[in-house]
Amino acid sequence: MSLHRRRRALASGWFARVTTQWRTILWLTIVWVMLWGDLSWGNVLAGVILGFAVITFFPLPSIAARGKLRPWPFTVLVARFVSDLVVASFQVSLLALTPRHTPRGAVVGVRLRNPSDIYLTITAELSSLVPGSIVVEAHRLTGMLYLHVLDVEAAGGVEKVRADTLALEARVLHALASNDELRAAGLYRDPATREVAEA
């Protein structure tokens, strides 16, 4: 008996795989139509067939995730990411237009609070998408991210880079993780305790 219903469905055959992953087929169809740039019955049908083929012949392993989407923290995560993206783009552009300044790059290691595959991946992707830093290595077992920072001094130093990465992970966890995962990471805020503190 499998503990994960989705994993059991994936192992039971192509029909169960298609019925449990219809959202993936839909998403692949949308991507296919967007790549062709033409919304037609032929393109939609080709996208469905392609999605079906991908799910059937190249199944991805299931990831056990117990989290839940929290709308307000998710909005904060997206808004802060867009803000960081704009600010960092401006800073990198300014750095490129200042030829006399030589940036001092460095690789900074950050140990995340939750080494779960899904949260580690989201944190790594959001870190890499912001100009000026890119994840060069990630260790699943230890939960370590190694980021190459273009200009450590402009970023506020090594400790500031670590603090910013941990703050990003905290926003990801508050937006997507379960209460148990937040407790394990030391980030859970009990609503009853908060109400007593505010009173």
Q: What one-character-per-residue DSSP string does 8-48 give?
A: HHHHT-HHHHHHH-HHHHHHHHHHHHHHHT---HHHHHHHH
Is the pTM for the entire model greater than 0.85? Answer: no
Structural domain containing residue 103: 69-194
26 pLDDT above the threshold of 80: yes
| 44 and 105, same domain (yes or no) | no
The pLDDT-based confidence of 7 (bands split at 50, 70, 90) is: very low
| 73 and 107, same domain (yes or no) | yes
Residue 135, domain member (yes or no): yes
| 190 and 150, same domain (yes or no) | yes
| 109 and 158, same domain (yes or no) | yes
Amino acid, res. 158: V
Residue 1, domain member (yes or no): no
The pLDDT-based confidence of 6 (bands split at 50, 70, 90) is: very low
